[in-house]
Structure 1
């Protein structure tokens, strides 16, 4: 049982690594990376899709936790500082997980449940969304729900737009274009321009 747990964990971590490296994945890739036979994926997870769903869920949980921790850590800072940190976090997340996000949005192997879980997590999950709106409203001194929704969508675009520009080219995340988005000077200008839109 203990060994089974280790194998499951290894397969989850290596699937995550493969998605980051390649933006796509096969059962054969997973089996070779983990030194197991192809049938092991179905044995431990039921299907490749179930395994990938677990991987995506873990990554989504991590970024949501980071967002909530950031808001709590900087709740007494001014709005410009807080939003700057928020954009930086989401922007960095998108560049560090570009392969996985490429799979999520563009892979023919993605199913509706995986994509729906991603959207639900950031826009429908009441605990997360209400926490973001509450703190955003306090910082902006506004209780206008529609205004807060608009601000949040703009904030979210700080992650989506660089992401889509990067992965319109299937190999962009591995090449020069990706290096542009990782450049600290570029990121600083991007955050400053986003703040001008938001504040």
Structure 2
């Protein structure tokens, strides 16, 4: 193994890393707010909405993410009548699949965070004269996020690794370029390079998330 060879394979793999990080950022930005909205919908007093969202979360958490990606990328265009209108760019389709899947997981995480809040908190807020909006925004939600943050952090780490599923839907990302180099050069070195890149990303993300957790613990 020479450094010249590592430098040669590293450049395209870093290009693939950009796609990996872009997917990660898009999913985090959209799935966390969507997950919170789903949590509110599950708790809605409007039963049809609550049942529909319950079913959605069950399906998204009960089927493999890879199957969902394959369905969105390759299955939707095959639907009769409307299939021609559902042909999406593969990266866009993959982003959609990831967001819909992770939103369901974040919804359950946030629901667990809300359940962890003692009912006495709501009663105390009423005694202090807070309305429902003030109670949720000033008392309940900050505590919910503090409780849910470690699990959200773990799910975010999992997301970094799950981005490798882009390889299955022919979106060129980090693992794609590693596999291409392995097939071309008959060496496993690109796998080790890819592993190091993944480890560096997860290490940096873990450090950032731990810092955020400590900040919330002392507030």
Per the normalisation by structure 2, the TM-score is 0.31
Give the greater-gyration-radius structure (CA): 2
Greater RCO, 1 or 2 (C-alpha within 8 Å, sep 6+): 2
